[in-house]
Chains A and B, each alone.
Chain A
Amino acid sequence: MSEFLNFHFDVDGDNFVSAGQASVQMKKNMRQLGLSPEIIRKVSIAMYEGEINMVIHAHGGAADVNVYEDRIEIILDDKGPGIKDIDLAMQEGYSTANDHVRALGFGAGMGLPNMKRYTDDTQIETVVGEGTKITMIVYLG
């Protein structure tokens, strides 16, 4: 089954005020599609953590959400600094966020762990100096 609905979002890099807009919009889209509250919650939280990471660590990027019959795929793509040590980055509490970002309540080092926790599959492709692409899958039903 290859047919799917695509939702594309550009994520602005330096705007903390609008941070999360893509995830909030996607949540609305999923409601309109009649997806279950449980699925909507998982996808929007995982997407929000990825969106925030692109804003605070990678000067923005792009988010694509593909809704298939049996699954939802969330793809976050940025041209930021990349992640040097993925195992370290995946650890709860590990964060390179600066004080300004922390003062806003981000930078708890729980973003990647939350993304893993709320999705069925998380793949991270990253090249230092070039960027990061994260693909997450949530199965429906």
Chain B
Amino acid sequence: MTAESLAAKHGFKVLAMPDPDRTVKGCYIGDLLSWVMGRARQDNAWITIMSNINIAAVAALSDVSLVILAEDVQPDENVLNTAKAKNVNIVCSPLPAYETAVRITSDV
């Protein structure tokens, strides 16, 4: 499913969607950036509660297709501009990380 359709289907709030047609495949949950770099696969959705500016670079470099901020976490200032510049999709889910993952599991 594309990043845009996934967000629409599950009612995730769109914060940045510069690459709406990107296909989301599989999912990785984690907040420690080196673990994400080491373990997330290309095209994964990345679910995290980390909200600082570095998530944009990590998402871009690890080639994840969509960042889902769980627990209604709001990104820090500048994250969204940076995400748009780096072609990184970011949405926000009101649910905890595990429940967010369970929700999307059959779509990714």
Which residues of A97-121 have CB atoms within 8 Å of chain B's CB atoms? 104-106, 108-111, 113-114, 117
Question: B34, A114: Cβ atoms under 8 Å?
Answer: yes
What 0/1 pattern do residues 73 to 102 of A give for CB contact below 8 A with B? 000000000000000000000000000000
CB nearest neighbor in A for B57: A20
Shortest CB distance B28–A (Å): 14
- A134 to B35 Cα, complex, angstroms: 21
Number of A-B contacts (CB under 8 A): 69
Binds A, one of B7-15, B19-27, B59-67, B100-108: B59-67
Please pick, from B35, B61, B63, the residue contacting A20 in the complex, using a CB distance under 8 A: B61
Looking at the complex, which one of B31, B38, B42, B60 makes contact with A105 (CB distance below 8 Å)?
A: B31
Check if B35 sits within 8 Å of A108, measured CB to CB: yes
Nearest B residue to A38 via CB reads B42
Q: Is the CB of A117 within 8 A of B61?
A: no
Is there an interface contact between B57 and A48, defined as CB atoms closer than 8 Å? yes
Do B61 and A23 have beta carbons less than 8 Å apart?
A: yes
In the complex, what distance in Å separates the CA atom of A134 from the CA atom of B61? 20
Complex CA gap A108/B91 in Å reads 25
Contact flag A113-B62 (CB < 8 Å), given A17-B53, A19-B54, A105-B31? no
Point out residues on A near B: beta carbons under 8 Å: 16-17, 19-21, 23-24, 27, 37, 41, 44-45, 48-49, 52, 104-106, 108-111, 113-114, 117
